[in-house]
């Protein structure tokens, strides 16, 4: 009887040790995935900052050239030519000014950094955004949602090998007294669906941390989330309480 009791205890201990070791291995794998995801995010933010920096250098260079040209017209008393040049600059500024001003500084920062990266990737973008001064949604949470939505849209467009130029359309505003977010983008003909309203990410490894983060934050605020995939187009709609 004692032998069987000891033998049973040994088996029980072995089972517990196996469970603990398996759990630790699972945790390590999860930590590695999170570490990889965070490194990817840092790389993206670095690219965004670098892109904005290069744009600022380009603007500075152009500004210097414009000043020199206008000084030359002025020195030669070429007022008609100077007026024409100023009119050209005015029209040019209207076409290149893609800065989004939502009324929220944090949201402006994340939107404009993402838009800068999108346009530098030769992706057609149409963006309109306006938010109220006071939000019930935490600003950081809102920026995380927007940032992940645009990261996913950008990755989807980059994964395409079509001759047609991909596109991203962004709309943020108030609809039915709620904050309404809509992102529509070019996508593969048909994405693999892995659940109700859930799709397999186009990113390597299919980890989908960004999608899970969006889902969790929308749920946190009892919001509404809808994802739709039609041939060549993917759309996400989110409504959050004001």
Q: Which residue has the higher pLDDT, 27 or 101?
A: 101
Q: Which domain holds residue 77?
A: 2-95
Q: Are residues 84 and 190 in the same domain?
A: no
Q: What is the pLDDT of residue 1?
A: 46
Q: Looking at the predicted structure, is the pLDDT value of residue 234 above 80?
A: yes
Q: Are residues 106 and 178 in the same domain?
A: yes
Give 162-216 pLDDT, tens digit per residue.
778 999 999 999 998 899 999 999 998 765 555 555 555 555 444 467 888 899 9
Give how far the C-alpha of residue 241 lies from the chain's centroid of Cα atoms, to the nearest Å.
21
Q: Which pLDDT band holds residue 154 (cuts at 50, 70, 90)?
A: very high
Mean pLDDT of 67-95: 80
Residues 6+ apart with CB under 8 A from 13: none
Q: What is the pLDDT of residue 22?
A: 61
Q: Are residues 85 and 120 in the same domain?
A: no
In the numeric block, the tokens 């939107």 are attached to 111
Assign 3-class secondary structure to 51-108.
HHHHHHHHHHHHHHHHHHHHHHHHHCCCHHHHHHHHHHHHHHHHHHCCCCCCCCHHHH
Structure-block tokens of residue 210: 């960004």
CATH of the domain at 103: 3.30.565.10
Q: Are residues 82 and 128 in the same domain?
A: no
Q: Are residues 81 and 130 in the same domain?
A: no
Give 135-151 pLDDT, tens digit per residue.
899 888 898 899 999 99
Q: Are residues 133 and 71 in the same domain?
A: no
Structure-block tokens of residue 153: 């849209």
106, 140 in Cβ contact below 8 A?
A: yes
Q: End of a domain among 72, 95, 118?
A: 95
Q: End of a domain among 67, 95, 123?
A: 95
Q: Are residues 114 and 84 in the same domain?
A: no
Q: Are residues 68 and 148 in the same domain?
A: no
Mean pLDDT of 92-104: 65
Q: Are residues 128 and 230 in the same domain?
A: yes
Q: Are residues 65 and 120 in the same domain?
A: no
Q: What is the pLDDT of residue 30?
A: 55
- Note the pTM of the prediction, 2 decimals: 0.63
Our count of domains for the chain comes to: 2
Q: Which pLDDT band holds residue 2 (cuts at 50, 70, 90)?
A: very low
Q: End of a domain among 46, 65, 95?
A: 95
| CA–CA separation, 154 and 166 (whole Å) | 9
Q: Are residues 235 and 162 in the same domain?
A: yes
Mean pLDDT of 68-91: 84
Q: Which residue has the higher pLDDT, 29 or 123?
A: 123
Q: Are residues 152 and 212 in the same domain?
A: yes
Nearest to 40 by CA among 241, 199, 209: 209
| CA–CA separation, 22 and 25 (whole Å) | 5
């Amino acid at each position: 009887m004692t032998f069987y009791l000891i033998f049973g205890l040994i088996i029980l201990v072995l089972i517990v040790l196996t469970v603990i070791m398996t759990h630790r291995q699972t945790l390590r794998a999860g930590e590695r995935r999170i570490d990889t995801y965070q490194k990817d995010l840092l790389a993206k933010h670095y690219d965004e900052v670098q892109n904005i920096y290069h744009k600022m250098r380009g603007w500075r260079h152009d500004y210097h050239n414009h000043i020199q040209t206008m000084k030359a017209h002025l020195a030669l008393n070429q007022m008609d030519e100077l007026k024409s040049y100023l009119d050209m600059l005015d029209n040019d500024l209207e076409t290149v000014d893609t800065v989004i001003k939502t009324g929220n500084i944090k949201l402006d920062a994340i939107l404009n950094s993402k838009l800068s990266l999108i346009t530098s990737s030769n992706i057609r973008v149409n963006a309109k955004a306006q938010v109220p001064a006071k939000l019930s949604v935490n600003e950081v949470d809102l920026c995380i949602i927007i940032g992940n939505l645009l990261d996913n849209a950008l990755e989807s467009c980059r994964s395409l090998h079509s001759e047609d130029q991909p596109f991203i359309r962004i709309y943020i505003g108030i609809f039915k007294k709620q904050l309404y977010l809509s992102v529509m983008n070019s996508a593969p003909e048909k994405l693999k669906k892995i659940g109700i309203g859930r799709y397999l990410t186009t990113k390597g490894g299919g980890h989908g941390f960004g999608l899970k983060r969006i889902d969790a934050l929308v749920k946190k605020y009892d919001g509404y989330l809808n994802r739709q995939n039609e041939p060549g187009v993917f759309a996400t709609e989110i409504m959050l309480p004001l």
